[in-house]
Chains A and B, each alone.
Chain A
């Protein structure tokens, strides 16, 4: 069964360093989402792509976060510089046009900022 792939699984970095997370959605899924999940809370949407275009980045802290999906397939989320408050799980999800609004999630990247 196809799955959303994310890497790395874990990332430890120091404050003010740059970090990047990668996501490969299920093949053929046009919509890709990045969520942030702080410990003890539900996931919160950061950015949504439709193919290679951003359709919603209203919750993305654009002074330090950026996201791209250049060829409309895999995606990268970057933080520069990282801050202590960025420590969280970063989840990627994808959805096909015919998937009845069902989003499929990756295993996530756990970020710890020291």
Chain B
């Protein structure tokens, strides 16, 4: 069965420091991975997906199939990055794809 693990429930850094939110997955098929973010009082929204290989708001994430990881990184954290971050795995094929989420990491960036 597919599983997503985010080992850190809470992560605190100071503004300007690098940040890395860890995500590991287990899935027997070809994975498609996402990071979703939920800012205070806002709805869950997509941050980035591994297929697009984009940098969004300074965040990047690389899929490492050997380590089954999809860690989210940003070299210089900003206070506005404080939010809940969820790593998610899509499975079930393109037509009927569904998401399995990790338990989330609360990121707090201190001034």
Q: Are A102 and B92 in contact (CB under 8 A)?
A: no
The segment from A17-25, A48-56, A64-72, A77-85 found at the interface with B is: A48-56
A91 CA to B46 CA, complexed, in Å: 15
> Which of B44, B92, B103, B104 is close to A56, meaning CB atoms less than 8 Å apart?
B92
B57 within 8 A of A: no
* Contact A91/B44 with A42-B104, A44-B101, A45-B99 known, Cβ cut-off 8 Å: yes
**Cβ–Cβ < 8 Å partners of A100 in chain B:** 49, 51-52
B97 within 8 A of A: yes
> Which of B46, B95, B101 is close to A102, meaning CB atoms less than 8 Å apart?
B46
* Contact A55/B49 with A42-B86, A42-B102 known, Cβ cut-off 8 Å: no
Task: Name A6's closest neighbour in chain B (CB-CB).
Answer: B43
B98 within 8 A of A: yes
Q: Are A50 and B96 in contact (CB under 8 A)?
A: yes
Q: Are A105 and B44 in contact (CB under 8 A)?
A: yes
* Contact A56/B43 with A40-B103, A100-B49 known, Cβ cut-off 8 Å: no
Task: Name A43's closest neighbour in chain B (CB-CB).
Answer: B101
Q: Are B94 and A42 in contact (CB under 8 A)?
A: no
* Contact A101/B90 with A55-B96, A91-B44 known, Cβ cut-off 8 Å: yes
> Which of A42, A48, A108 is close to B98, meaning CB atoms less than 8 Å apart?
A48
A103 within 8 A of B: yes
B68 within 8 A of A: no
**Cβ–Cβ < 8 Å partners of A4 in chain B:** 43
Q: Are A106 and B99 in contact (CB under 8 A)?
A: no
**Cβ–Cβ < 8 Å partners of B94 in chain A:** 101
Task: Name A102's closest neighbour in chain B (CB-CB).
Answer: B46
Given A48-B98, A104-B45, A105-B44, 18 more contacts at CB 8 Å? A3-B43, A4-B43, A33-B98, A40-B103, A42-B86, A42-B104, A43-B44, A43-B86, A43-B101, A48-B96, A101-B32, A101-B49, A101-B90, A103-B46, A103-B99, A105-B43, A105-B45, A107-B43
6 contacts between A and B (CB under 8 A): A33-B99, A42-B4, A45-B100, A91-B44, A102-B49, A107-B43
